[in-house]
Structures are given as structure tokens and as C-alpha cells.
């Protein structure tokens, strides 16, 4: 055992154990770490936003390079502060409306390309897939899976008649997908825990290399 | 240099001029250059691409390996005429050079022809949506099947009221431009109306500053619409921090201290989903979750009482409000899905019948 002599490592280990103590129950150590974490991260965000967003994207082009067009984003940004002035607080809707409109405009074509066209293309049965029996079989399974899942998410009809068994098949496909995803994601979570334990047992206590 | 070139060209012959064209479907400043592979008994290292403007000498702009037969010059100025030539290099020496290309200019295009299919698809989809919205607004009764998770929502609000405990609403951790966040904010409005009517405390911790501002306005409006503007407490809709895990730690703390009777996790989530849902389950709260994040859905399904899977989250706001605009949109989405289903079957049949061009209709 060769514990670290770096006080920052000890502090990090202490805060890690404070957070881990939540596994037992809520306690003062967890509350301390939680509030410290929230406060530090919120403060860090302010500094980060200034250095990465406001200064390079607004102050430099507007006040140093003299690009007048940047008054528009400045005016939009200032609208957020009207929430503190009841008489003008309706103006906060301007940047929000712009953001929502811009967000939808950017998201919809990208969504259409990625989630509809690409997925449809990848699902279609092509002759080449049947050059081997197994790839042909999987291509058919994928097509059936997509069709039954689409039927599952059809809200305009009651689930009865022919829709019911197809939708039930869709649920099976969805759950199979979730099962695979669950296992894959749990592995990733375990690796996070391992990383933290390595810090405690290695960098802090020096028990493992 | 000139003498050397004349010598080597006379020994090895010349290449045809490269094909040059304005790179299509971009904002200009790009020219596409392509050439035939040069075959020689000598070992070829690669090709040099040389460029000249009008009345200027050629200068080398790039080198590519011998397997490449095309290059995109992405450092051109729109409207200026350029000419190109290719020099073949082997063993560090010039083997030969091509004829000079025809003059070419780069220019921007207003319409990306490669995405015509996206435009057509969007127009068809928008037409269907507008059709159903029009009919919904004219009072046509549009049926939507029962969604179990949403049926439980009213019970969940009622339970919190009976127990005298708050409801915790987490609108996801994503930003305002995420569709799941927008769907969640629609549901938040309806939940806030119910909590205003029942006089139940609604806690809404936020990760995104912009979502926080929107959520606050939505809850405030909902309380006003419900005739209880006085019951709105601005401190209950609050910003925590943008750090994912600090936010999670704080929400977990809220769950164990305030012990909400109902936890609603609706929106987009990442790795924190299981931590939030597990902590909520340990407090005995009834939990309803909904997300379009495929990787997080399994965790919500295992740890929550009800889960809205993917598009059910988008359908939820229409189902709860019965507003014509949302109902019409949902109907339009449904028929959009049926069109995709039809396309899958028809296009697969055509491809199997030996019409491979069908596949190109979906290329971008």
C-alpha cells in the first residue's frame, strides 16, 4: 500500500466517497458533495460561456472587429433579461421563438435524411442480400421487424383484427432491441465504476498499479 | 525545369487534360478535378495537382497517392477562372504531365439537387399534416387509441394531491432544439394545468438555461389558464446546472428529501436515466418516463411504472390535450408511417424484380 501524498487526490477521493455514501442513504456528506458539485459546475459554466461563447462569438466580432450585424444576436440575447422587467417580459418570447423555429428548421431535414431515407434504404430487400441464405434471412427479418414496429406505433386504429398480432410481433422486436441495448449500456456503466475504483485503489491508496 | 519537362514528356508521352468542373451542390469555392490513371513501366509515387489563374503561372496545390484519380480543390474563389494540370511523379522524379484543362470557375448553388428526394418527401408529408390539421380544426373527430402510460398520468397527479406531496417533472437533459424536449414541454403545460387545478406542488429542475426559461413561462401560463395565477411559485421551476452529473446528483437529492409522490421523466436522457429512475423507485414514487433515446429506454422500462416508448412521447401531448393542431399532426404522422410502410413493400418488390435504380431514389 502506497497512499498518495497529493492533497488534491485526497480531496477527490473524499468527495468520491461522499457521493458513494448515497448508496447507504441520504446524509450530510452526500449533501455537502452534491451542493459543492452543483455550485462549482454552475460557476464553471459561467466562465466557460464567457470564454467559449460570449467573448469570441459576440465581443470580438462586434466591438473589436466592428461587425455591426452582431447587434442582432446581442439584442436577442438581451431580450432574455427582460424577464426581470415585468413591463417588457413578453419580449423574452422573441429569442425563444427564434430558437424554436431555427431548431425545427435544422432538425427536420436532418431527421428526414437520417431517420427516414437512410433507414428505408437500409431496410429494403435487394437481390445481393440473397446471394447467401443467412444474409437473405436476416434481410427478411429486418424488414418484418421494421414493418411490425411501425404498426406498433400506429395510433389511429384500435389494436384489434390484423393489427393486433402484427403490433404484438412489433413489441417482441422492440424488446429484443432493448435487451441488447441494455446489456451493451450496462457494460459501459460498469466501466465508469471501474474507472472510479481504479482511482480509489490505485491513484489514492496505491493498492493496485 | 522546363527543359526537364520537355525531356521526360518526350520519353514517356503525355496525359490527357484532367476533367474539371464546379463541384456540384455546395456553396462554391470548390472545383472537382479528375483524371485517367497513368500507366507506366516506371514505379509511380503519385500525382501532383497544379493550378493557375488567368495570367499567372502554375503552382502546385496538392499531392495525392497513385491510387487517387480525383481531387477536390476547396480553396478557390468564386467567379475566378482557373486551369489545372496533373504531373505524374515516380521515384521522386517527374514522369510526365497532362495537358492543361479547360478553364473552370467555382460557383455556389441555391438548390442541392442531391436532396430533391428530401424536398419531395417533406412536401408530401407536410401536405398530409396540413390536410389532417385542417379537418381536425373543422371539428372532425379523429380517433387515437388508448396509451396506458398517459391514462396513468391523471391518477399520478391525483395520488400526489391525496398524499399532499409534490410532483417532480424532469424535462430531459437536452436543449430546446431537441424534438423530445419540445414534446416534453407540451406535456409539462398539461401537467401544470392539472397541478394548478388540484393545488399540488410541481417541481421542475432544469439543466438547460433556455429550457428553464421556456419551462418557467409554460408553467406560469398554465397556472394562469387554470385560473390560479396566484398559485404559481416561480421558485419551483428552477435552473440547477448544465453539468450532467451535478444535475443528476441534485435531482436525486431532491427525490430523497422532498419525496415526491410522482416522478415524471419526459424528454431526452443520457447515462443518468438509470440513476434517476432507480433513486425515484427507492423513494416509492409512482414513476412515468418517456424518451426517444433508444439506449435509455430499457432502463426506464425496468425502473419505472409506465414508459412512453419513442414516438409515444410525441403522441402524448396530442392525446392529453385533444387540441386539433396536435391531433391533426399525430394523424399526419400516422399516415406518414403507413406511406413508409407501403414504400418498403413496393420498393423491395421492385428491387427483387431486378430494378436496382429504385435504391438510388433514397440516396442523398
Q: How confident is the model over A176-190, as pLDDT tens digits? A: 999 999 998 888 889
Distance, in Å, from the CA atom of A92 to the CA atom of A98, rounded to the nearest integer, reads 11
Q: Is the pLDDT of residue B8 over 80?
A: no
Comparing alpha-carbon positions, the chain A residue that sits nearest to B142 is A156
| Average pLDDT score over residue span B136-162 | 87
In the prediction, which pLDDT does B54 show? Answer: 87
The interaxial angle of helices B209-225 and B179-198, nearest 10 deg, is: 40
Residue count of chain B, please give it: 364
| Average pLDDT score over residue span B272-294 | 94
Looking up residue B253, the CATH number of its domain turns out to be 3.40.50.2300
Looking up residue B56, the CATH number of its domain turns out to be 2.60.40.10
A170, part of any domain:
yes
Distance, in Å, from the CA atom of B327 to the CA atom of B309, rounded to the nearest integer, reads 19
Domain tally for chain B? 2
Comparing alpha-carbon positions, the chain A residue that sits nearest to B349 is A125
Chain A residues in contact with B301 (beta carbon < 8 A): 178
3-class DSSP assignment, residue A27? coil
CA distance A87 to chain B (A): 15
Residue indicated by cell numbers 485517367:
B36
B239, part of any domain:
yes
When CB atoms are compared, the residue of A45, A104, A112 closest to B241 is A45
Contact A182 B299 (CB under 8 A): yes
Contact B298 A147 (CB under 8 A): no
Chain B residues in contact with A94 (beta carbon < 8 A): none
Contact B242 A45 (CB under 8 A): yes
Contact B297 A181 (CB under 8 A): yes
Quote ipTM for the complex: 0.85
3-class DSSP assignment, residue B274? helix
Cβ-count burial of A31 within 10 angstroms (0-12 exposed, 13-18 middle, 19+ buried)?
A: middle
Query: Chain A to chain B, count of Cβ pairs less than 8 Å apart?
Result: 179
In the prediction, which pLDDT does B326 show? Answer: 85
In the prediction, which pLDDT does B323 show? Answer: 83
Q: Are residues B313 and B175 in the same domain?
A: yes
Contact A102 B177 (CB under 8 A): yes
Contact of B350 with chain A, judged by CB distance below 8 Å, is answered with no
Long-range contacts of B95-98 (CB under 8 A, 24+ apart): B95/B8, B95/B12, B95/B38, B95/B40, B95/B42, B95/B44, B96/B8, B96/B9, B96/B12, B96/B13, B96/B14, B96/B15, B96/B38, B96/B40, B97/B5, B97/B9, B97/B14, B97/B15, B98/B14, B98/B15, B98/B16, B98/B17, B98/B18, B98/B35
Chain B residues in contact with A181 (beta carbon < 8 A): 294-295, 297-298
Contact A117 B253 (CB under 8 A): no
Distance, in Å, from the CA atom of B334 to the CA atom of B325, rounded to the nearest integer, reads 14
Q: What pLDDT band is residue B13 in, cutting at 50, 70 and 90?
A: low
Contact A118 B364 (CB under 8 A): yes
When CB atoms are compared, the residue of A19, A143, A181 closest to B295 is A181
CA distance A118 to chain B (A): 7
Contact B121 A112 (CB under 8 A): yes
Distance, in Å, from the CA atom of B286 to the CA atom of B305, rounded to the nearest integer, reads 6
What would the DSSP string read from start to end of B29-91? S-EEEE-PPP--SSPP-EEEEEEEETTS--EEEEEEETT--EEEE----BT--EEEEEEEEET
Comparing alpha-carbon positions, the chain B residue that sits nearest to A116 is B340
Q: What pLDDT band is residue B4 in, cutting at 50, 70 and 90?
A: low
| Cβ atoms of B82 and B104 closer than 8 Å | yes
In the prediction, which pLDDT does B2 show? Answer: 52
Chain B residues in contact with A126 (beta carbon < 8 A): 351-352, 356, 359
| Cβ atoms of B218 and B183 closer than 8 Å | no
| Average pLDDT score over residue span B11-40 | 87
Q: What pLDDT band is residue B176 in, cutting at 50, 70 and 90?
A: confident
Chain B segment 16-45 residues within 8 A of A by beta carbon are none
pLDDT in tens, chain A (209 residues): 889 999 999 999 999 999 999 999 999 999 999 999 999 999 998 999 999 999 999 999 999 999 999 999 999 999 989 988 889 988 988 998 898 888 888 888 888 898 899 999 999 999 999 999 999 999 999 999 999 999 999 999 888 999 999 999 999 999 999 999 999 888 888 998 999 999 999 999 999 97
When CB atoms are compared, the residue of A41, A113, A179 closest to B241 is A41
The per-residue b/e assignment along B329-345, b for 16 or more CB within 10 angstroms, e otherwise, is: bbbbbbbbbeebbebbe
Domain tally for chain A? 1
B306, part of any domain:
yes
* Cα Rg, chain B, nearest whole Å: 31
In the prediction, which pLDDT does B141 show? Answer: 84
A131, part of any domain:
yes
Q: Is the pLDDT of residue B363 over 90?
A: no
In the prediction, which pLDDT does B12 show? Answer: 54
Cβ-count burial of B141 within 10 angstroms (0-12 exposed, 13-18 middle, 19+ buried)?
A: exposed
Domain that holds residue B66: 2-97
Comparing alpha-carbon positions, the chain B residue that sits nearest to A108 is B122
In the prediction, which pLDDT does A192 show? Answer: 87
Which residue from B261, B257, B259, B293 is spatially nearest to B274, judged by alpha carbons?
B293
Q: Are residues B21 and B148 in the same domain?
A: no
| Cβ atoms of B327 and B314 closer than 8 Å | no
Domain that holds residue A158: 124-209
Contact A96 B213 (CB under 8 A): yes
The phi, psi pair for A188, rounded to 5°, reads: -65, -40
When CB atoms are compared, the residue of B177, B217, B294 closest to A106 is B177
Q: How many CB atoms lie within 10 A of CB B103?
A: 13
Contacting residues for A75 by C-beta, under 8 A, at least 6 apart: none
Long-range contacts of A72-81 (CB under 8 A, 24+ apart): A80/B213
| Average pLDDT score over residue span B291-297 | 93
Chain A residues in contact with B115 (beta carbon < 8 A): 109, 113
What are the tens digits of pLDDT across the range B191-216? 999 999 999 999 999 999 989 988 99
Amino acid at each position: 500500500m502506497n497512499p498518495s501524498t497529493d492533497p488534491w487526490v485526497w480531496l477527490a477521493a473524499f468527495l468520491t466517497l461522499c457521493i458513494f455514501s448515497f448508496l447507504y442513504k441520504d446524509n450530510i456528506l452526500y449533501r455537502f458533495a452534491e451542493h459543492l458539485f452543483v455550485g462549482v459546475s454552475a460557476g464553471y459554466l459561467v466562465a466557460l460561456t464567457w470564454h467559449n461563447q460570449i467573448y469570441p462569438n459576440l465581443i470580438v466580432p462586434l466591438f473589436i472587429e466592428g461587425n455591426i450585424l452582431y447587434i442582432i444576436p446581442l439584442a436577442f440575447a438581451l431580450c432574455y433579461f427582460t424577464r426581470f422587467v415585468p413591463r417588457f417580459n413578453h419580449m423574452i418570447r422573441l429569442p425563444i421563438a427564434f430558437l424554436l423555429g431555427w431548431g425545427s428548421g435544422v432538425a427536420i431535414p436532418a431527421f428526414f435524411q437520417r431517420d427516414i431515407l437512410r433507414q428505408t434504404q437500409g431496410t429494403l430487400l435487394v437481390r445481393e442480400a440473397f446471394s447467401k441464405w443467412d444474409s437473405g434471412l436476416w434481410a427478411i427479418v429486418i424488414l418484418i421487424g421494421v414493418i411490425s414496429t411501425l404498426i406498433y406505433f400506429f395510433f389511429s386504429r384500435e389494436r384489434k383484427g390484423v393489427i393486433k398480432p402484427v403490433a404484438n410481433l412489433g413489441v417482441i422486436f422492440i424488446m429484443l432491441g432493448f435487451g441488447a441495448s441494455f446489456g451493451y449500456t450496462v457494460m459501459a456503466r460498469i466501466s465508469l465504476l471501474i474507472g472510479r475504483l481504479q482511482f480509489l485503489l490505485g491513484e489514492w491508496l496505491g493498492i493496485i498499479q | 525545369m522546363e527543359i526537364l519537362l520537355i525531356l521526360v514528356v518526350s520519353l514517356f508521352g503525355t496525359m490527357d487534360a484532367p476533367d474539371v468542373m464546379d463541384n456540384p451542390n455546395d456553396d462554391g469555392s470548390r472545383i472537382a478535378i479528375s483524371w485517367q490513371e497513368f500507366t507506366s513501366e516506371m514505379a509511380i509515387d503519385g500525382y501532383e495537382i497544379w493550378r493557375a489563374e488567368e495570367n499567372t503561372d502554375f503552382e502546385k496545390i496538392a499531392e495525392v497517392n497513385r491510387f487517387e484519380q480525383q481531387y477536390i480543390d476547396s480553396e478557390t474563389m468564386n467567379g475566378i477562372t482557373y486551369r489545372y494540370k496533373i504531373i505524374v511523379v515516380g521515384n521522386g522524379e517527374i514522369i510526365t504531365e497532362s495537358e492543361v484543362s479547360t478553364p473552370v470557375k467555382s460557383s455556389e448553388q441555391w438548390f442541392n439537387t442531391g436532396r430533391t428526394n428530401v424536398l419531395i418527401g417533406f412536401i408530401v408529408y407536410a401536405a398530409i399534416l396540413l390536410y389532417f390539421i385542417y379537418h381536425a380544426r373543422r371539428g372532425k373527430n379523429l380517433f387515437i387509441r388508448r396509451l396506458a402510460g398517459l391514462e396513468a398520468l391523471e391518477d399520478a397527479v391525483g395520488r400526489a394531491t391525496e398524499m399532499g406531496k409534490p410532483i417532480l417533472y424532469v424535462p430531459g437533459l437536452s436543449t430546446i432544439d431537441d424534438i423530445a424536449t419540445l414534446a416534453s414541454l407540451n406535456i409539462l403545460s398539461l401537467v401544470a394545468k392539472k397541478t394548478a387545478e388540484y393545488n399540488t406542488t410541481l417541481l421542475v429542475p432544469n439543466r438547460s438555461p433556455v429550457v428553464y426559461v421556456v419551462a418557467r413561462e409554460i408553467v406560469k401560463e398554465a397556472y394562469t389558464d387554470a385560473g390560479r395565477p396566484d398559485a404559481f411559485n416561480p421558485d419551483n421551476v428552477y435552473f440547477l446546472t448544465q453539468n450532467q452529473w451535478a444535475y443528476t446528483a441534485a435531482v436525486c437529492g431532491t427525490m430523497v428529501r422532498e419525496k415526491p409522490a410522482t416522478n415524471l421523466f419526459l424528454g431526452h436522457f443520457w447515462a443518468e436515466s438509470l440513476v434517476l429512475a432507480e433513486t425515484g423507485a427507492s423513494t416509492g414514487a409512482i414513476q412515468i418516463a418517456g424518451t426517444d433515446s433508444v439506449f435509455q429506454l430499457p432502463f426506464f422500462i425496468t425502473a419505472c411504472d409506465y414508459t412512453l416508448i419513442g414516438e409515444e412521447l410525441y403522441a402524448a401531448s396530442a392525446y392529453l390535450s385533444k387540441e386539433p393542431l396536435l391531433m391533426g399532426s399525430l394523424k399526419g404522422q400516422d399516415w406518414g408511417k403507413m406511406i413508409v410502410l407501403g414504400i418498403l413493400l413496393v420498393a423491395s418488390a421492385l428491387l427483387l424484380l431486378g430494378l436496382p435504380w429504385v435504391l438510388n431514389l433514397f440516396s442523398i
